[in-house]
Amino acid sequence: MTDAPPTARPRLGFVGLGNIGGPMAGSLAVWPGGLSVFDLSGDAVAKVVEKGADAADSLAGLAEKSDIIGICVLDDDQVRSVVTGADGLLSTARPGTIITVHSTIGPDTAVDLAEQCAAREVTLLDAPISGGSMGAASGRLAIMVGGPREAYQKLKEPFALTADMIVHAGDVGAGTKMKLARNLLHFISFTATTEAARLAEAAGLDIGKLGKVVRHSDAVTGGPGAIMLRDTTAPVDTDDPWYGILTGVRTLGEKDLSLALALADELDVDLPLGRIALRDLAAGLGVPHAEGDNT
């Protein structure tokens, strides 16, 4: 009896070879099923071709020979043009093709494009990424996938070359919603960082050294994501095991925020996010104070 032939590996395609798409495609270039790439920049294409990819001469040409196609372009309009424009991917994509949109677009755009693709028996997934160019270069991206779970499962093996976390967020559009929530935290944290820097500067501290302390402690504790411990934002019951933990976080947080704000008042530094944090921390954690409790 002869061995059964190995299952054919899907051929990959990738559109958009910028600061993130380029390193992603570079990692995917070693995929045994092969990779075709397309970008308006010849230099960007050449860098990935050097790593083993083939250059497609058009979007339609790329779609003709690809089973899974990633898109990493600038915005909603560019994604629409790549997918549904004249000579776009849908003009030649075969039934069964999977298109993954790694750009951060509106959830409604993802749903609309998925419906247009479904009419051609093509599956479109919104699959935004987190980790930036550094994560792309090191193969440590997180990819949040919205769409049919069966299609998501087909991405896991090839995309493991460029991401060490791939999660199924839900239906089409859910990947984008998860990315928007993640980036809400990201950029509010950045804004809070500027407040901490102003306070440190006013206190005569070395901001660079403070940054080293922050990076060190966040690497140990997990940073803001460390309190995402539960599957709901509802108030925590007193008999819930998390109640004692989050009450401790609340107590410590309110003490330290109060001290920081007192220092800010002394140094005449405005910390609007700090004041909001002190006001909302307890309720946000799900362990609000009892009425009349000012501790």
> What is the token pair recorded at 268?
């005449």
Provide the pLDDT for residue 5.
47
- Tell me if domain 12-175 and domain 179-285 are identical in fold: no
Catalytic site residues? 179
Cα(168)–Cα(130) distance, integer angstroms: 14
Model pTM score: 0.88
Per run of 10 residues, the mean pLDDT along the chain (length 295 residues) is 61 97 96 97 97 97 97 97 96 98 95 97 97 91 98 97 97 96 93 96 97 95 87 92 92 95 96 96 92 61
Per-domain residue ranges of the chain: 12-175, 179-285
* Topology of the domain comprising 12-175: Rossmann fold (3.40.50)
Q: Which residues contact 93 (CB under 8 A, 6 or more apart)?
A: 63, 66, 69, 99, 117, 120, 122
* Topology of the domain comprising 179-285: N-(1-d-carboxylethyl)-l-norvaline Dehydrogenase; domain 2 (1.10.1040)
- Residue/partner pairs of 236-240 with CB below 8 Å, 24 or more apart: 236/285, 236/286, 236/287
Provide the pLDDT for residue 292.
61
Q: Which residues contact 116 (CB under 8 A, 6 or more apart)?
A: 83, 84, 90
